[in-house]
Chain A
Amino acid sequence: MSKWYGEFQVLRDIDLQVASGERLVICGPSGSGKSTMIRCINRLERHQEGSIIVNGVELADDLRAIDEVRADAGMVFQHFNLFPHLTVLENCILAPMHVKRMPREQATDLAMQYLARVRIPDQASKFPAQLSGGQQQRVAIARSLCMQPRIMLFDEPTSALDPEMVKEVLDTMTSLAEDGMTMLCVTHEMGFARSVADRVVFMDGGRILESADPGSFFDRPQHERTRAFLERILH
């Protein structure tokens, strides 16, 4: 798959297969196209060449296919993107009620279940701005889970957090991984990559340069660019 912004090619011949239940960490320097790539997977960005197939559904201009893929793929953003005018609970039940036409009581039960899972059920009636960054990101994860997706996409979920709050979000993601969720995480948290990922993908200049299990990725990086990158971020 390839993608251009006007004349500029952001993604070059991306070829990636992710198995069901696989945990993938995508890393690379900024501007390498990693966020753009996972944003293509639920069609927040449109690709121009090649094909993207999610659970057997090919993403093209067909709106129904896009809706189907979005229902299957939850997304967590760097800046949480919670709806500030709604309470935590309302954030969580919005999509189930309006996209899945779930009755309010059932959506509320489901939301409380997932809020308990990210360990903030007691904040359900607060507004996002009343919570800390880490709490907001956990609400964002719960909000995605309420749509009961089969794939979770994480776009630098801890980059906008205070250092102290990174752990609570990573713990939530780890517990999600342990339950067998298919996950694609763009992140610079190498500790998380080493302990949770099945595979680490390194991108640079819109290409996938290296793709390996964490053991060989961190200990025996093949590509020189990867080595330089790891040296810089692992100190």
Chain B
Amino acid sequence: MTTISISPDVPARSAPIDRRDSAMHRLFGTVVSSVATVVALGLGLYALSRFADWSLINAVWPGEPGAMCRRATGACWAFLGEKLNQILFGIYPPAQQWRPALVCAFILFMVVLSLSPRQWRLRTVVLWLVGMAGSLALMQGGWFGLERVPTASWGGLPVTLLLAVCALGIGMPLGVLLALARRGSLPVARFIATCVIELIRGLPLISLLFMASIVLPIMLPAGMTIDSLLRAGIALTIFSAAYLAEVIRGGLQSLPAGQLEASRALGLSWWQMTRLVVLPQAMRKVIAPLTNTAIVMIKNTSLVLIVGLFDLLSSGRAALTDPAWPTPYVETYFFIAGIYFCICFGLSRYSMWLERRFKKGELR
């Protein structure tokens, strides 16, 4: 008896369409699912219409006076229009706010410039370093007749961007070094890297920020101070380095031993092998978890508000304290959430693009 018969001559019958797969059947196939569909749809529409009432129809738009907001039942977008600069730039002197605006524009420009793998070379790194030093000098002032603005008066989006760039830009190479040391053959380096990673990962970021802002100054010799923004930057950088290191270590572990053997047989030194063969492959394998960590770290920068720094989120909260206006918390948080979402969603889409790009050549 034939069990399997494969023949080229018989035309294949097209499979009948399974009606249970159609959307119509799933939503209205039985009485229960019909009722559930109608109820869910009704609730959804109701919520949407209430939200539209609040956010659009009854809203007070920019240009209208603050008093209107007290009477209106809708959203007070006028507040955002009025306080936009304060939310974005904190208590930076209003007349000087072109400086943080320029810095934000520069950072965004550099981020866009660095997206393409073709730009991943020394020139871009130098441009980043020089640009960031210039940005800090511009924010700080005190030269060429620029008014001096201490870091205590910095706030808003530039602080968030500076902290994020610092935590990821310096944290990434630091994380690579930690991961390599932990996987390496030098016992001392391995011990130190393991201790640093485990210690930092074992602490909540908040406690690390507190330690950096309160304990560190006590430990320093009298008269020596470190800027509080810098201290928070250091804490965030070390924290992200520890997490990134573990992600990168996962990538290193996934590399087949044959790659190392081939590199060594060709005579590559340890450093050449690491730079040319190991890291490019390891990093490509962990793009998704690296992105995850990067997104978490960007949002973590908002925790600096507990050590008294004014990042985007705390600047928004500070703007809400003006007695001349009602306190539209929801609207302000909506706006700030929108900025965070744009950054994080953009990063997420970028990482997907990067993965596709790298896969194109390598897979059959």
Q: Are the CB atoms of A70 and B265 closer together than 8 Å? A: yes
Q: Does B262 contact A (CB under 8 A)?
A: yes
Q: Which residues of B contact A87 (CB under 8 A)?
A: 361
Q: Are the CB atoms of A81 and B261 closer together than 8 Å? A: yes
Q: Are the CB atoms of B266 and A143 closer together than 8 Å? A: yes
Q: Does B264 contact A (CB under 8 A)?
A: yes
Q: Which of B261, B266, B280, B361 contacts A95 (CB 8 A)?
A: B266
Q: Which residues of A contact B276 (CB under 8 A)?
A: 94, 98
Known contacts A84-B281, A85-B280, A129-B362; is-contact A77 B261 (Cβ 8 Å): yes
A-side interface residues, number (CB < 8 Å): 28
Q: Which residues of B contact A127 (CB under 8 A)?
A: 361-362
Known contacts A77-B258, A77-B262; is-contact A70 B362 (Cβ 8 Å): no
A79 to B364 CA separation, bound complex (whole angstroms) = 17
Q: Does A74 contact B (CB under 8 A)?
A: yes
Known contacts A77-B258, A98-B272, A127-B362; is-contact A85 B264 (Cβ 8 Å): no
A30 to B258 CA separation, bound complex (whole angstroms) = 19
Q: Are the CB atoms of B267 and A83 closer together than 8 Å? A: no
Chain B CB count within 10 A is highest, among A42, A75, A84, A147, for: A84
Q: Does A49 contact B (CB under 8 A)?
A: no
A74 to B264 CA separation, bound complex (whole angstroms) = 10
Q: Are the CB atoms of A98 and B265 closer together than 8 Å? A: no
Per-position contact with A for B261-302: 1 when CB-CB < 8 Å, else 0? 110111111001000110011001000000000000000000
Least distance between B30 CB and chain A CB atoms (Å)? 49
Q: Does A203 contact B (CB under 8 A)?
A: no
Q: Which residues of B contact A70 (CB under 8 A)?
A: 264-267
Which residue from chain A places its CB closest to the CB of B363 in the assembled complex? A129
Q: Give chain B's interface residue range (CB within 8 Å of chain A).
A: 20 to 34
Least distance between A93 CB and chain B CB atoms (Å)? 11
Least distance between A114 CB and chain B CB atoms (Å)? 14
Q: Which residues of B contact A82 (CB under 8 A)?
A: 262
Q: Does B124 contact A (CB under 8 A)?
A: no
Q: Does B259 contact A (CB under 8 A)?
A: yes
Tell me the A63-89 residues at the B interface (CB within 8 Å). 67, 70-71, 73-75, 77, 79, 81-85, 87
Q: Which of A77, A84, A99, A129 contacts B267 (CB 8 A)?
A: A99
Q: Which residues of B contact A147 (CB under 8 A)?
A: 266-267
Q: Does A175 contact B (CB under 8 A)?
A: no
A95 to B265 CA separation, bound complex (whole angstroms) = 10
Q: Are the CB atoms of A85 and B362 closer together than 8 Å? A: yes
A79 to B258 CA separation, bound complex (whole angstroms) = 8
Least distance between B259 CB and chain A CB atoms (Å)? 6
Q: Does A44 contact B (CB under 8 A)?
A: yes
Q: Does A130 contact B (CB under 8 A)?
A: yes
Least distance between B303 CB and chain A CB atoms (Å)? 37
Q: Does A144 contact B (CB under 8 A)?
A: yes
Q: Which residues of B contact A71 (CB under 8 A)?
A: 267
Q: Are the CB atoms of A130 and B364 closer together than 8 Å? A: yes
Q: Are the CB atoms of B281 and A74 closer together than 8 Å? A: no
Q: Which residues of A contact B262 (CB under 8 A)?
A: 75, 77, 81-83, 140
Q: Which residues of B contact A79 (CB under 8 A)?
A: 258
Tell me the A27-44 residues at the B interface (CB within 8 Å). 42-44
Q: Which residues of A contact B277 (CB under 8 A)?
A: 83, 94
Least distance between A76 CB and chain B CB atoms (Å)? 9
A143 to B262 CA separation, bound complex (whole angstroms) = 10
A85 to B280 CA separation, bound complex (whole angstroms) = 7
Chain A CB count within 10 A is highest, among B262, B264, B358, B362, for: B262
A71 to B267 CA separation, bound complex (whole angstroms) = 6
Q: Which residues of A contact B268 (CB under 8 A)?
A: 94-95, 98-99
Which residue from chain A places its CB closest to the CB of B271 in the assembled complex? A98
Q: Are the CB atoms of A85 and B363 closer together than 8 Å? A: no
A98 to B263 CA separation, bound complex (whole angstroms) = 11
A27 to B275 CA separation, bound complex (whole angstroms) = 37
A127 to B280 CA separation, bound complex (whole angstroms) = 15
Least distance between A44 CB and chain B CB atoms (Å)? 5
Which residue from chain A places its CB closest to the CB of B361 in the assembled complex? A127
Which residue from chain B places its CB closest to the CB of A95 in the assembled complex? B266
Sample of 9 further A-B pairs with CB below 8 A, known A44-B264, A83-B277: A44-B265, A67-B267, A70-B265, A83-B281, A85-B281, A85-B284, A94-B268, A140-B262, A147-B267
Q: List 7 A-B contacts (CB under 8 A).
A: A67-B267, A71-B267, A75-B265, A94-B276, A127-B362, A140-B262, A143-B266
Give the interface of B toward A (CB within 8 A).
256, 258-259, 261-262, 264-269, 272, 276-277, 280-281, 284, 358, 361-364
Give the interface of A toward B (CB within 8 A).
42-44, 67, 70-71, 73-75, 77, 79, 81-85, 87, 94-95, 98-99, 127, 129-130, 140, 143-144, 147
Give 3 closest A-B pairs by Cβ, nearest first. Answer: A81-B262, A81-B258, A95-B266
